[in-house]
Structure 1
Amino acid sequence: KMISLSVGAQLIGTYKPAEQRKAYEQYRSYFADKDSLTREDLSLAAMVARRLEQQEDVTLAKQAYREFGRIFENAGGPVARFAETFEASARRLDLLGNEMRVSGKTMAGKPFKLSDLKGKVVLVDFWATWCGPCIAEYPNMLKNYERFHDQGFEIVGVSLDEDRDAVENFVERKEVPWTILHDKEHPGESEAASEYGISAIPAMFLVNREGKVVSLHARGEELTAQLEKLFGKSETPDDQ
């Protein structure tokens, strides 16, 4: 039965909205009615919620994260401690249209708060040097930074590396022109990553001048499109 449930979880994102809700409610009942919940159940619930999160409307995904979290918390046992991860993921989806809290220490050891950049458009990028897709995003980030920085675009990279040398070497080799947060005393840790349930990277959020999150997936073409919406279609460096 777990195999068919797992296949269904992978396919839930392809269903029409009404079918998605019906399927979600079946999963919710399945977890709620079980005498004891296992790590396999935990993985299955996370898969369902993640597939729903990939939809344009994330309302059902938020509901899934919150209700699954409550079910696992009430179940007790080893799985109960993961309930907060589900709630944190719901908080991440709640960010759209709201302010995001990010703080930490820069590479130079200076305290930083995202609210200090109010009035700027900011890309908040959770990344690591060991993350291939994160590094693959770098050229596009740099291209957009060079194009829009003079108009008020900033990037804050929150490194989740445990290896300080790896971060320093990358920043130096690439001559990264934007702020990188990495705490020497607590490498690999980030309060914001914990608060917003960020377990997969890159996780890239775009914040407007008012400090409100306008995109939860500001990667690739989506980043450029969002910036053009906020700044207008100025000439790119290649056009000049």
Structure 2
Amino acid sequence: MIPQFRCPQLSIVLLATVLSFLTLAPGRSDDAPPAGKKTFQDVIVARQKDLLRDAVQYVEQHPDAADLDEAFAWSFETARRFGLEADALPMSERCLKSRTTSAANKSAAKQVLCVGLAKSGKLKDAVTAFQDSLQFARFGAVGEPLDLAVELVAQAGLAGEHGTAKEIYRTLSNRFGLNPQVGEFCENRLRKLDLVGVEAPELRLTDLKGDPASIADAKGKVLLIDFWATNCPPCLAEFPKLKQLYADKHEEGFEVLGISLDDSPDTVDAFQAQAKLPWRMVCEAEQVRQAREKYKVRTIPSLFLVGRDGRIAQVDMKGNDLRRAVERCLAEK
């Protein structure tokens, strides 16, 4: 049996409380940690890479093993959880050639294949694989294709291929043209992608402490504008990694400006204090409305990464992809 490591999942209800005393380190599967900066998460990811390598070797040496499906399932789950899709490419290719593996494993293999190719620098092949996978997607099952599109768009953004990112959303929208939710989602994402490369629209804001805040204040720094709310689970789920990223990169010139869509500033103030989020927050209804209009924000979470030159470098990056994007922007003097 192939060994595995399982991380406990945190309840969203408890997230603010957990954040008050614990900051989770993000995975660093794509780049080695700086000297002296190794974290426990780095140890975990390194171990998972070793185990994944062992799993690939096991399948290659035992192609008719009775527990082959278990090996495939563990490998794909691990690859997705720790951002190791590129390492799992041999496993995904072997799974797709298998005539006996489960449909669930086949589906997971296609996702890992697409993301793994993109992370390996083969974005064109990844997009082709994505388009092929859509041919067999069921109209009512849009969750997996949508999640996969978001991941591929992130990789396209990191590669500077924003035109390809738009193509991915257009392809998804065309495939599920009769699904209004998918169409609206893609349309919203395309609007925000249109902002990449342009100067970040100026905002005149007042933070929760009553101090003025603006985009110009961060000129020469790297700024993440985060549209969020306390009743948005995906927004809250990103805070542990974002908090760690801020701690790691703030002294290098990384800033975060939170723009909350909550109705009550008191709610946001209480959450910020409990979660110990160190960046500035804005929650004034009219200012938020204007900010949403300028940044074409219809849904949350919506994130905009502004480079040192004041131009929008990336949109809707999260997790390890956001860390990589921030590091690249900080490196541009």
Q: Secondary structure at the match of 1:49?
A: helix
Corresponding position of 2:192: 92
Tell me which amino acid in the other structure corresponds to 1:91.
R
Cα gap change, 1:108 to 1:81, in 2 (>3 Å): same
Q: Secondary structure at the match of 2:332?
A: helix
Cα gap change, 1:23 to 1:120, in 2 (>3 Å): same
Cα gap change, 1:221 to 1:26, in 2 (>3 Å): closer
Corresponding position of 1:236: none
Separation in 2, partners of 1:98, 1:214: 8
CA contact (8 A) 1:10 1:47 kept: no
Cα gap change, 1:106 to 1:7, in 2 (>3 Å): farther
CA contact (8 A) 1:120 1:208 kept: yes
Which sections of structure 1, spanning at least 5 residues, go unmatched? 231-240
Separation in 2, partners of 1:124, 1:195: 13
Which structure has the greater CA radius of gyration? 2
Cα gap change, 1:90 to 1:64, in 2 (>3 Å): same
Cα gap change, 1:172 to 1:8, in 2 (>3 Å): closer
List aligned pairs for 1:112-191, cutoff 5 A. 117=217, 119-121=219-221, 122-127=223-228, 131-138=236-243, 140-141=245-246, 144-146=249-251, 148=253, 155-161=256-262, 164-171=265-272, 179-184=280-285, 191=292
Which sections of structure 2, spanning at least 5 residues, go unmatched? 1-101
TM-score by length of 2: 0.48
CA contact (8 A) 1:126 1:157 kept: yes
Separation in 1, partners of 2:242, 2:204: 22
Corresponding position of 1:14: 116
Q: Which of 51, 59, 80 is the equivalent residue of 2:180?
A: 80
Tell me which amino acid in the other structure corresponds to 2:246.
M
Separation in 2, partners of 1:54, 1:103: 26
Separation in 1, partners of 2:252, 2:218: 20
Deviations 1:77-135 (A, max 9, x none): xx22431211222333444322344758644598x896655845333234556724314
Q: Is 1:214 paired with 2:313?
A: yes
Tell me which amino acid in the other structure corresponds to 1:133.
E
1:162 shift after superposition: 6.1
Separation in 1, partners of 2:311, 2:326: 15
Tell me which amino acid in the other structure corresponds to 2:268.
V
1:50 shift after superposition: 1.8
Q: RMSD of aligned C-alpha atoms?
A: 4.4
Q: Is 1:49 paired with 2:149?
A: yes
Separation in 2, partners of 1:5, 1:200: 27
1:66 shift after superposition: 1.7
Higher relative contact order (CA 8 A, sep 6+): 1
CA contact (8 A) 1:96 1:212 kept: yes
1:183 shift after superposition: 3.7
Cα gap change, 1:12 to 1:177, in 2 (>3 Å): closer
Separation in 2, partners of 1:136, 1:29: 35
Q: Secondary structure at the match of 2:197?
A: coil
CA contact (8 A) 2:110 2:133 kept: no
Separation in 2, partners of 1:193, 1:11: 37
Cα gap change, 1:14 to 1:102, in 2 (>3 Å): farther
Q: Secondary structure at the match of 1:97?
A: coil
Q: Secondary structure at the match of 2:238?
A: helix
Tell me which amino acid in the other structure corresponds to 1:156.
L
